[in-house]
Amino acid sequence: MTRPGLRVLVLLAVVLVACALLAPRFLEFGFGDGRLRGALVDVAHRGMPTLLLALGMTLVIGLGGIDLSVGSTMAIGGALAALVLAAGGAAWVAFALGLGGGLCVGLGNGLLVRAAGVPPLVATLITLTAGRGLAQALTGGQIVTFERPEYAALASGAFLGLPVTLWQGALATVALGALLRATRLGLYLEACGDNPRAARLCGLPVARMHGFAYALTGVLAAWAGQLAAADIRAADVHSTGLYLELDAILAVVLGGTALTGGRIHLLGSVLGVLILQALTTALLMRGAGTEALLVGKAVAVLVFALLTRRPA
């Protein structure tokens, strides 16, 4: 276990203890609707869309980039799927088309960053603005509702006693982790993030690495958007994923992936998401409003940053 990994584990433990103190029923478990219930399960369940975003964000940040557009990509993915469903299309077609939309946004980001040389912050700022606009234009600014239990099961179903969202998050994490560490991909990505010039001189396909990371982030974001849409059985193009890019970035930073690029800690990001979501759930259980939640998150992140700052 690397040092940042250990740090985020300790932090998670501290946060969980704090949550248990804040909300006495935090550690209770129950069983109902064919699955395990309880605050901790809820933490994982609610955190899954953010987790999918954070997984992609880890790769992009590991490459020294940033993707601000994931929230808008979520809205596009959800909107596309909902439109297909509302028109009577099959659930799998809706899902695939939603992911395809995310892939297009991601590839667009990759092209802007690599082919046009736009700084990632600006490139994804553009797709953030235009992306949400596109989602709104797709649905005419309306909230598209659908009554399709087979699609809604994507977010509310259960499998082997656990919410199906958990399995999806685990699947995405394990698949991506295997892709990174069982193949050369992880090493290449880190090399490109650490020193792009050196990586290119070594013959690494730097441009393709960027394309891959942004495209994958787009697909994962569209997936997260579909979880959100399936959860409320509607595509809300105005608020789906709003500000969620910030949660994802914070989770990645908490997890120990350096914003300067060159290091990828996938599991750290998973733990980072759980930390943020545990705080959120505990504060909500305590009856705190969203306002206290926002202030709490901001203070927690700054305190963490002060504690773990690198020496000058």
Partner 1 sequence: MKTAARAPWLLPALAFLLVWGAAGFVHEGVHSLPFLHNLVRDGAVLGVCALGATLVILGGGIDLAVGAMVGCAATLAAVLVEDAGWHPLAAAPVVVAAGAGFGALQAAAVAATRLPSFLVTLAGMFFLRGAALLVSRESVAIAHPFHQAAGTAVAWVAAAVALVSVVAAAHLPLLRDLYALGGHREAALLAGVRAFRAELCAFAASGACAALGGVLLTWKSAAGNPRAGLGLELEAIAAVVLGGTLLTGGRGGPLGTVFGVLVLTLVQVLLTFQSGLGPGWTRVVLGGLLLACVIPTLKRL
Stretch that binds partner 1, among 4-12, 37-45, 99-107, 127-135 (CB under 8 A): 127-135
Measured distance between the N- and C-terminal CA atoms of the chain, rounded to whole angstroms? 25
228-232-234 Cα angle (round to 5): 90
Q: Is 3 in the site for partner 1 (CB under 8 A)?
A: no
Is residue 159 helix, strand or coil?
strand
The answer to whether 284 and 25 are in contact (CB under 8 A) is: no
Can you say whether the dihedral through the CA atoms of 180, 181, 185, 188 is positive or negative?
positive
Q: Which stretch binds partner 1 (CB under 8 A): 15-23, 37-45, 123-131, 159-167?
A: 123-131
306: contact with partner 1 by CB under 8 A? yes
Q: Among residues 56 and 120, whose Cβ is nearest to partner 1?
A: 120
Residue 145 pairs with which residues in a beta bridge?
Answer: 234
At 298, the amino acid letter reads A
The single residue listed with the structure tokens 């979520």 is 74
Residue 162 CB, nearest approach to partner 1 (Å): 31
Q: Is 122 in the site for partner 1 (CB under 8 A)?
A: yes
By the rule CB under 8 A, 119 interacts with partner 1:
yes
Which is nearer to partner 1, 9 or 125 (by Cβ)? Answer: 125
Options 246, 267, 284, 285; binder of partner 1; rule CB under 8 A:
246
- The closest of 56, 92, 61 to 73, measured between CA atoms, is 56
Q: Among residues 69 and 217, whose Cβ is nearest to partner 1?
A: 69
**Residue of 91, 203, 99 lying closest to 153 (CA atoms):** 91
Q: Which is nearer to partner 1, 96 or 285 (CB)?
A: 285
- Residue 13 in contact with partner 1, rule: CB under 8 A: no
Cβ contact 255:271 at 8 Å: yes
Given 59, 250, 254, 275, the residue binding partner 1 (CB under 8 A): 250
* Shortest distance (Å) from residue 122 CB to partner 1: 5
Using CB under 8 A as the binding rule, whether residue 197 contacts partner 1 is answered as no
Binding-residue total with partner 1 (CB under 8 A): 48
Residue 292 as a binder of partner 1 (CB under 8 A): the answer is: yes
Q: Of 14 and 122, which CB lies nearer to partner 1 in the complex structure?
A: 122
> Residue ranges of the alpha helices (H) in the chain?
3-22, 39-62, 70-86, 91-110, 120-138, 149-156, 164-182, 185-194, 196-201, 206-232, 244-254, 266-285, 290-307
The residue ranges that bind partner 1 (CB under 8 A) are: 66, 112, 116-119, 121-122, 125-138, 140-141, 237, 246, 249-250, 253, 259, 289-299, 301-302, 305-306, 309-310, 312
